[in-house]
Amino acid sequence: MIDAGTYREILDLLDQVDVVAHDLLAAELDLYRSLKAKYAGPCIVDFDDKTCLEVILRNVAIRDRAPPP
């Protein structure tokens, strides 16, 4: 059964990550592309996917605030 609320949240997070995709590290980009492909159509929603996308967005925000080396 599809959890419509979490599914919508994941789609929104994918849209947010899409905006900052140019700032992703290789592993983050691979995970993002994998999740984007998974959620391109109906699928079983995995709550961990939502958490992964939130972590990616948090990591990008932290890197943006970090002082240059």
4-7, long-range: CB within 8 Å, 24+ apart, which pairs? Answer: 6/45, 6/47, 6/50, 7/39, 7/45
Please tell me the total count of domains within the chain: 1
30-66: per-residue pLDDT in tens? 999 999 999 998 888 988 999 999 999 999 999 988 7
Q: How far apart are CA 22 and CA 47, in angstroms?
A: 25
Check pLDDT > 90 for residue 20. yes
pTM for the model stands at 0.88
Q: Residue 8's domain spans which residues?
A: 4-65
